């Protein structure tokens, strides 16, 4: 119930909040890469701010972990990621397999009738 109340206050669900935190982390990391690739002594302050932003983003991600204890991810999704595929394709492929199996079973049922 506490997670639902928190979602109501912020307007973000737990997945959106995690996604936002990860996006902030990635953006800060990208900006640090730009700063250090052409480092100037005058940019030390900005670099320090970006490093602090990364630390804060990691803290936000850490806070989100308690909201995901009941989330189960099929191992095949990780295989898709390891193969460089979009994990959203997993759902599409599962639906296509289910449709093919459904057609096969329907064909067998029709053959017996």
State the DSSP code for 8.
Answer: H
- ∠ CA 93-23-92, nearest 5°, is 5
DSSP code at position 38 = T
CATH topology of domain 1-71: Methane Monooxygenase Hydroxylase; Chain G, domain 1 (1.20.58)
How many contiguous H segments (helices) and E segments (strands) does the chain have?
5, 0
Tokens, residue 71: 């989330």
Q: Provide the residue ranges of all domains of the chain, joining segments of one domain with +.
A: 1-71, 73-112
Residues 76-110 have pLDDT tens digits of: 889 989 999 988 888 899 999 999 999 999 888 88
pLDDT at 44: 92
pLDDT value at 45 more than 50: yes
Tell me if the pTM is above 0.85: no
Query: Average pLDDT in the 9-19 region?
Result: 76
Q: Which residues contact 18 (CB under 8 A, 6 or more apart)?
A: 61, 64, 67, 68
Residue 1: predicted pLDDT: 44
Average of per-residue pLDDT across 67-73: 85
Query: Does the pLDDT at position 24 exceed 80?
Result: yes
Which phi and psi (to 5°) does residue 51 adopt?
-65, -40
Q: Which two tokens stand for residue 69?
A: 């204890």
């Amino acid at each position: 119930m506490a997670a639902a109340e928190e979602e109501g206050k912020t307007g973000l669900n737990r997945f959106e909040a995690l996604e936002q935190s990860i996006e902030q982390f990635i953006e800060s990391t990208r900006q640090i890469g730009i700063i250090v690739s052409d480092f100037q002594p005058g940019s030390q302050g900005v670099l320090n701010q970006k490093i602090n932003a990364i630390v804060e983003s990691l803290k936000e991600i850490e806070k989100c972990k308690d909201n995901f204890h009941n989330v189960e991810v099929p191992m095949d999704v990780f295989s898709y990621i390891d193969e460089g595929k979009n994990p959203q394709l997993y759902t599409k492929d599962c639906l296509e397999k289910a449709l093919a199996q459904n057609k096969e079973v329907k064909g067998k049922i029709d053959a017996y009738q």
